[in-house]
Chain A
Amino acid sequence: MNESHKRSVIKSVSYRLIGSLATMLIVFAFTRKFALSLGVGIFELLAKIACFYIHERIWSRIKWGKLEHPLEDLNINKELSEEDKEKVKSQLKNMGYMD
Chain B
Amino acid sequence: MSDKKKKKVFVIGLDCAAPRLIFDDFKKLLPNISMMIEHGVSCAMRSSDPPITIPAWMSMCSGKDAGEMGVYGFRTRKGNSYTDFDISFSHAFSGTNKIWDVLKQNNKKSILVSVPPSFPPFEINGSMISGFLCPDQDRDYTYPSELKQEIEKIGDGYDLDVVFRTEDRDAIKKAVWEMTEKRFKVIEYLIQNKEWAFFMFVEIGIDRIHHAFWKYFDKEHFLYEPGNTYESVILDYYKLLDEKIGRILSLLDEDTTVFAVSDHGVKAMKGAFCLNEWLIEKGYLVLNSYPEKPVTLEKLDVDWSRSRAWGWGGYDGKIYINKKGREDHGLVKENEYEALRDQLIRELTEEKDKDGNPWNTKIYRPETLYRSLKGNPPDLIAYFDDLAYRSAGTVGHKSLYLDENDTGPDDAMHDWNGIFIKYDPQHKEKQRLKGMCLLDFMPEVMKEFGLEEY
A residues apposed to B, CB below 8 Å: 70-71, 73-77, 80, 84-85, 87-89, 91-99
Contact = CB atoms under 8 A, between A and B. Distances in A.
Contacts of B392: 99
B230 interface: no
B121 A75 contact: yes
B120 A97 contact: no
Contact of A75 (B122, B132, B164, B408): B122
Contacts of B408: 94, 96
B394 A99 contact: yes
Nearest to A90: B135
B196 to A, nearest CB: 18
A97 B90 contact: no
B89 A80 contact: yes
A83 to B, nearest CB: 8
Contacts of A76: 120
Given A97-B314, A99-B392, A74 B94 contact: yes
Q: Name the residue among A88, A89, A98 with the largest chain B CB count within 10 angstroms.
A: A98
Given A75-B122, A75-B145, A77-B145, A96 B94 contact: no
Contact of B393 (A70, A92, A94, A99): A99
A76 B142 CA distance: 10
Contacts of B135: 84, 87-88, 91
Nearest to B413: A96
B156 interface: no
A70 B95 contact: yes
Interface in B112-130: 120-123
Nearest to A73: B123
Q: Which of B89, B145, B163, B297 has the most CB of A within 10 A?
A: B89
* Nearest 4 CB-CB pairings of A with B: A99-B313, A87-B135, A97-B74, A99-B393
B274 to A, nearest CB: 10
A87 B144 CA distance: 24
B410 interface: yes
Contacts of B163: 94
Given A88-B87, A96-B211, 7 more contacts: A74-B90, A92-B87, A96-B165, A96-B314, A97-B74, A98-B312, A99-B406
Interface in B371-418: 390, 392-394, 405-408, 410
A97 B90 CA distance: 17
Contact of B314 (A71, A84, A89, A98): A98
B52 interface: yes
Contacts of B407: 93-94, 96, 99
B136 interface: yes
A73 B74 CA distance: 22
Contacts of A71: 91, 94
A98 B53 CA distance: 12
B28 to A, nearest CB: 32
A72 to B, nearest CB: 9
B75 A75 contact: no
A1 to B, nearest CB: 16
B309 to A, nearest CB: 17
A97 B73 CA distance: 9
A95 B53 CA distance: 12
Contacts of B314: 96-99
A93 B144 CA distance: 30
A74 B74 contact: no
Contacts of B424: none
Contacts of A92: 74-75, 87
30 contacts: A70-B94, A70-B95, A71-B91, A74-B94, A75-B120, A75-B121, A75-B140, A75-B143, A77-B120, A77-B140, A85-B87, A87-B136, A88-B87, A88-B89, A89-B87, A91-B132, A92-B75, A93-B296, A94-B408, A95-B164, A95-B165, A96-B408, A96-B410, A97-B74, A98-B75, A99-B312, A99-B313, A99-B314, A99-B393, A99-B406
Interface in B82-100: 87, 89-91, 94-95
A49 to B, nearest CB: 36
B133 interface: yes
A70 B393 CA distance: 34
Contacts of B133: 88
A68 to B, nearest CB: 11
A77 to B, nearest CB: 5
